[in-house]
Structure 1
Amino acid sequence: MTPHHAPGAPLHIAGTGTALPGDPVDNARLGKTFGIDEEWIDLFVGTRTRHFGWDLATGEIRHSLTDLCAEAAARAADAAGARLQDLDFLVLATTTPDRLLPTTANEVADRLGLDHLPTYQIQAGCSGAVQALDLARALLAAGHRSGLVIGGDTTARFLDPSRTPTDLPTQELVNYVLFGDGAGAAVVSTEPLGEALAVRTLLHRFSGRGRTPGQIIDWDGPVRRDTGRQMLSEDYKAVEEGVPVLAGEIYWELLDSVGWTPADVDFLLPPQLSARMTARITESLGASTAHEVSCVVDTGNTGNALPLLQLDRLLARLPDTGRALALVVESSKWIRAGLVLERTHAAEPRP
Structure 2
Amino acid sequence: MGAPHNDAQVYVHGVGTALPGSPVTNEDIAAHYGMPTVWRQWVDEFIGTRSRHLAVDLASGKITHTLTDLGETAARGALADAGLAAGDVDVVVMSTATPDHLAPATGSRVAARLGITGVPVFQLQSGCTGAVQALEVTQDLLGSGAYRTALVIGGDTSAKHTSPDVDAASVPLEVQVNGLIFGDGVGAAVLGTNPVEGRPVLRHVHTRLVGAGREPGQTVYWFGRASTADGVPAAEDYKTIENAAAPMAADALKHMLHALDWEGGRLHYLLPPQLSSRMTGRTLDHLGLTDTEAISRVTEIGNTGNAIPYFQLELLLPRLRPGDRAVGVSIEASKWIRSGYALEQPA
Name the TM-score class by shorter chain.
Answer: over 0.9
Q: How does 1:21-100 map to 2 (within 5 A)?
A: 21-36=20-35, 37-100=39-102
- Identity of aligned pairs, percent? 42
Q: How many residue pairs get matched? A: 343
Q: How does 1:288-303 map to 2 (within 5 A)?
A: 288-303=290-305
Asked if the contact 2:162/2:233 (under 8 Å) is kept, the reply is no
The one-character-per-residue Cα deviations of 1:277-336 (angstroms, maximum 9, x if unpaired) are 000000110100000100111110110000111111111222232111111101100111
Q: Which residue of 1 aligns with 2:190?
A: 187
User: TM-score scaled by structure 2?
Assistant: 0.95
Asked if the contact 2:55/2:160 (under 8 Å) is kept, the reply is no
Q: Which residue of 2 aligns with 1:325?
A: 327
User: TM-score scaled by structure 1?
Assistant: 0.94
Asked if the contact 1:155/1:179 (under 8 Å) is kept, the reply is yes
**CA RMSD, Structure 1 to Structure 2 (Å):** 1.7
Q: Which residue of 1 aligns with 2:337?
A: 335
Q: Structure 1: how far apart are the matches of 2:219 and 2:3?
A: 29
Q: Which residue of 1 aligns with 2:141?
A: 139
Q: Which runs of 5+ in 2 are unaligned?
A: none
Q: Which residue of 1 aligns with 2:213?
A: 210
Task: Sort the Cα spacing of 1:156 and 1:46 in 2 relative to 1 into closer, same or farther, 3 A.
Answer: closer
3-state DSSP class of the match of 1:4?
Answer: coil
With 154-163 and 245-254 compared, the bigger mean Cα shift is at 154-163
| Cα drift, residue 229 of structure 1 | 6.9
Q: Which residue of 1 aligns with 2:252?
A: 250
Among 193, 196, 199, the alignment partner of 1:196 is 199
Asked if the contact 1:80/1:193 (under 8 Å) is kept, the reply is no
Q: Structure 1: how far apart are the matches of 2:34 and 2:253?
A: 38
Q: Which runs of 5+ in 1 are unaligned?
A: 347-351
| Deviation >6 Å, runs of 4+ | none
Q: Which residue of 1 aligns with 2:278?
A: 276
Q: Structure 2: how far apart are the matches of 1:198 and 1:227?
A: 44
Q: Which residue of 2 aligns with 1:10?
A: 9
The one-character-per-residue Cα deviations of 1:36-88 (angstroms, maximum 9, x if unpaired) are 42111111111111101111111111111001011000000111111111110
Q: Which residue of 2 aligns with 1:349?
A: none
The one-character-per-residue Cα deviations of 1:263-286 (angstroms, maximum 9, x if unpaired) are 510001010000000000001101
Matched, 1:118 2:120: yes
Counterpart residue identity of residue 26, structure 1:
T
Asked if the contact 2:82/2:190 (under 8 Å) is kept, the reply is yes
Asked if the contact 1:5/1:200 (under 8 Å) is kept, the reply is yes
Counterpart residue identity of residue 295, structure 1:
R
Q: Which residue of 2 aligns with 1:150?
A: 153
Asked if the contact 2:63/2:160 (under 8 Å) is kept, the reply is no
| Cα drift, residue 8 of structure 1 | 3.8
Q: Structure 1: how far apart are the matches of 2:344 and 2:165?
A: 47
3-state DSSP class of the match of 1:98?
Answer: coil
